[in-house]
Amino acid sequence: MSDDEHKSAGEVHHELHSHLPPEPGLRVKAMESLLIEKGMLDPDTVDAWVETYSEKIGPKCGARIVAKAWCDDAFKARLLENGTEAVKELDDAGWAVAHLKVIENTPDIHNMVVCTLCSCYPHAILGPPPNWYKMAAYRSRAVRDPRGVLDEFGMSLAEDIELLVWDSTSELRYLVLPERPEGTQGWDEERLASIVTRNSMIGTQRVLSPDEGAA
């Protein structure tokens, strides 16, 4: 008897759907393929729009939250105490965020976010999740070998820094508050927000460069 015959229907369903996009995703992919086949859609353009929204436009709300926390100690305290309520103070960032916990990086602590069950993610403030965040390899290894995963992101974390891994759920999402980099004294919130990256708010990047916002 094969291993598959010993599996329950639920186990088989979970295994199949861990490798396939959800039904709406399949429909979108089918429509995209049809439009490309008919010459009505350029796949490179689609990829460019997705990348732009994922990497730049989407995370801007989160970056504004981080920048405000760096500049306003009272807001930062409210944010760390109750992220859900604090982000409502920002007109365009709080409307779709529920059950948000903000976790702060310090010189001695680094935080990293994962969703081991699926890909729960604070879309309203970070945009769509990157593909790697949804992959089984990240979701499983982030809890088993988090330092190894960070190494693959080019981030070597010193052994004396405590690494905390937070598992998102459908009821609770996390946002990492990265450390403010040296050399940004006197910067306004807009300029500070320009150096905050999506990965730093997930925890797969630790050090932010003030050179990114120097212009």
Catalytic residue among 54, 71, 118, 194: 118
* Cβ–Cβ under 8 Å, residues 49 and 157: no
**Angle in degrees, 0-180, between the axes of helices 60-71 and 73-81, rounded to the nearest 10:** 120
The candidate with the shortest Cα–Cα distance to 66, out of 105, 96, 121, 27, is: 105
Catalytic residue among 119, 140, 194, 209: 119
The candidate with the shortest Cα–Cα distance to 191, out of 170, 172, 212, is: 212
The candidate with the shortest Cα–Cα distance to 204, out of 172, 178, 170, is: 178
Known catalytic residue: 71? no
Catalytic residue among 61, 115, 168, 200: 115
Q: Where is 56: in which H helix or E strand?
A: none
Bridge partner residues of 103 (DSSP): 176
Known catalytic residue: 61? no
Catalytic residue among 2, 18, 54, 120: 120
Q: Which residues are catalytic?
A: 115, 118-120
